Chains A and B, each alone.
Chain A
Amino acid sequence: MVAVDSQGPQDSAVRMFRRERSIPLRGSAAALCNNLSVLQLPSRNLTHFGVVHGPSAQLVSAAPEGVPLAQRQLHAKEGAGVSPPLITQVHWCVLPFRVLLVLTSHRGIQMYESDGSVMVYWHALDSGDASPGTWSGRILVFDIPAKGPNIVLSEELAGHQTPVTDIATEPAQGQDCVADMVTADDSGLLCVWRSGPEFKLLTRIPGFGVPCPSVQLWHGTVAAGYGDGQVRLYEAGTGTLHVQISAHARAICALDLAPEVGKLLSAAEDTFVHIWKLSRSPESGYTEVEHCHGECVPDTQVCGARFCDPSGSSFAVTGYDLAEILRFSSV
């Protein structure tokens, strides 16, 4: 395992990561982007992991040392078609009053209680004239009640012409940061939105010929990972490019944030995972980035990566064809 650390001028403690006990999976991870979702439950000393295998998704709960405690498999709803529908993403949505588990496939959107035990809502996507595999680029906004299954589709946002790949949100920050949500698509276009009774499109940040599979939002800064291995940071309100990182040698598959400490994680098909520190320069006010750590997962086409705790001192990784979740924590 190759691990590379850069010691920044402000960071006197050198961060080293070591490999922890892996969590076995019943099925290998599929070659999708953002193929790992993590729900941290520190009060219950538990972490939930979600990975898409193909026609099924697997949920695993683990104790802090990585000991697996419970497993569950979820499937996409069947329908007409040649083969069982494939799940495209599994993700925990943490809302103010509840946590929902969302499963998407080409048939539609399934929402469950956070442990996957009960499906509370199903939204079918019309196949219509579009052959399976082409997405319209629509963004669906749902109103979620604090309890129960009364979920309602409240808005459809038009902003993208090609399939939407990722959505990132952060709580409204106040006067400085108006942006609440950023969406990315297959053409590399980013749309920045402000939430409210109706969502308002604030900025469009054009792509440059490669998909943007993963996006994050931190204190009014958009962090986007691209198919050519670049990570770019933009000012959300204006769309101005502030940082450009030649981060990876292959397509980026996942980005994650540890918002409390401003750490960004990038993972790509080149087998590497990198951790970056975001900050704002006190003199200029511009966003700055520092490289903290690089980890190579040998011979593994990484497809998902997430921080496992709010301080960004541990992370988990999934890889195509790999039937386990790899875990790393800092020493």
Chain B
Amino acid sequence: MSVRTLPLLFLNLGGEMLYILDQRLRAQNIPGDKARKDEWTEVDRKRVLHDIISTMFNRKFMEELFKPQELYSKKALRTVYDRLAHASIMRLNQASMDKLYDLMTMAFKHQVLLCPRPKDVLLVTFNHLDAIKGFIQDSPAILHQVEEIFRQLTEVKCFFLLCLWQTYGGLSAGEFQLIRQTLLTFFQDLHIRVSLFLKDKVQNSNGRFVLPVSGPVPWGTEVPGLIRMFDSKGKEVKKVEFKHGGNYVTAPKEGSFELYGDRVLKLGTNMYSMNRPVETHMSGASKNLAPRTQENIAPNPLAKEELNFLARLMGGMEIKKPSGPEPGFRLNLFTTDEEEEQAALTRPEELSYEVINIQATQDQQRNEELARIMGELEVTDQPRQSASKGDDLLAMMDGL
């Protein structure tokens, strides 16, 4: 499998997360002057997005992200997004975080599946990045923070684009095909039904995505339907058409891989808007999910490696501590609090994102190092139940 997949996975999932949070925050938006203390305003929304974006593009974090490495499990990655979502004043309950992660993963799975060429996943990434730029650009309401973030981001943007170019600029079609297969392996057996996808007829009621057999062929591919035969000198001697069965047309133009440009591809652009609320159905009844449960039950010698990965990655994340007595604003991804509670109770077992159950490690030094890093990220409302730092770390992870 490809060791260059993680940055693409992380950035695109992060992009989807921002789309969803943006839409949800807008839906709960109250005009600034009318808002009560505990209600979301436009300023709050921008601030949340800014905080998350600046955490995502933190230089140290980027350095860890772009190191050649295998993909880790969905559980491990979910922990990173949990931290990321809490990079600002926003708070999400478990049920809302689960739903957010479900939506993010299904959206990107769809985009990967429908990419005409394997390398078009870069165009999808650029679509997300273009939108992220948009999130931070149009914010005259926020004062000093914007300029500071913009300045940091400009420096970081150059570093980030350099990383992107270095990692993917010279890859062959075969290497992109391997990246595509690695991503599809990550998403294998996920069939959560998303209302928006069902409504748009992008997903079937069994949770599988619709694969259209019409429209433009990928750039560089010919419209199917022709058999050409040549003699030994290379001269065409016979041409026969056949009925392919699809309804394809030539690709009009190639999407741009430059810093700015027309990407042509719509995959990865923001499909959410005010009038299209974000809902998921749990597709737990499908027997196809059965193989995945073994991942949760099997003994876990991998846990140590994954914990190391998390520590390294999140060690690079600078989580800003709120200055002064600011309340954490809770965001609900469901329509009502009751719905959120109900979702938490009825989530199918096999779709649970429980964090890895870790055996206590013997390595005292590593434990202390991890505890130190985790301590910097710690949410303060965890009760300390034991004297040992290692145990605290485990307790903290189990409580996530």
Q: Interface of A with B (CB < 8 Å)?
A: 2-4, 6, 26-28, 30-32, 53-54, 81-83, 86, 106, 131-134, 162-163, 185-187, 209-211, 213, 227-230, 235, 238, 240-251, 270-272, 274, 284, 286-291, 294-296, 298-301, 320-321, 323
Contacts and interface: CB of A to CB of B under 8 A. Distances in A.
A83 B208 CA distance: 27
Contacts of B182: 133
A31 B184 contact: yes
Contact of A270 (B1, B174, B209, B213): B213
Given A28-B288, A131-B68, A246-B222, A289 B229 contact: yes
Interface residues of B, number: 63
A227 B177 contact: yes
B244 A294 contact: yes
B302 interface: yes
Given A30-B185, A83-B70, A162 B224 contact: no
A3 B243 CA distance: 10
A244 B230 contact: yes
A8 B245 CA distance: 17
Contacts of A210: 173-174, 220
Given A132-B1, A272-B245, A229 B211 contact: no
Given A238-B232, A289-B227, 18 more contacts: A6-B243, A28-B288, A30-B185, A82-B309, A106-B1, A131-B68, A185-B174, A186-B172, A209-B173, A211-B173, A228-B220, A242-B229, A243-B230, A250-B221, A272-B244, A298-B211, A299-B210, A323-B291
A249 to B, nearest CB: 5
Interface in B182-225: 182, 184-185, 188-189, 191, 204, 208-211, 213, 217-218, 220-225
B237 A286 contact: yes
The main secondary structure of chain A at its interface with chain B is loop
A56 to B, nearest CB: 9
Nearest to A86: B1
B221 A228 contact: yes
B238 A246 contact: no
B302 A321 contact: no
27 contacts: A26-B291, A28-B188, A30-B185, A30-B188, A53-B291, A133-B2, A133-B178, A162-B174, A227-B118, A227-B173, A238-B232, A240-B232, A244-B227, A246-B224, A246-B227, A249-B213, A249-B221, A249-B244, A250-B116, A251-B118, A272-B244, A272-B245, A284-B231, A286-B232, A299-B208, A301-B113, A321-B208
Given A162-B172, A242-B230, A296-B213, A249 B72 contact: no
A249 B214 CA distance: 9
B221 A229 contact: yes
Contacts, number: 186
A274 B290 CA distance: 32
B145 interface: no
A209 B229 CA distance: 22
A240 B181 CA distance: 32
B73 A83 contact: yes
B242 interface: yes
Contact of B234 (A185, A241, A251): A241
Given A133-B2, A162-B174, A271-B213, A31 B242 contact: no
Contacts of B309: 82
Nearest to B231: A286
B70 to A, nearest CB: 5
Contacts of B226: 245-246
Given A86-B1, A210-B173, A243-B229, A299 B291 contact: no
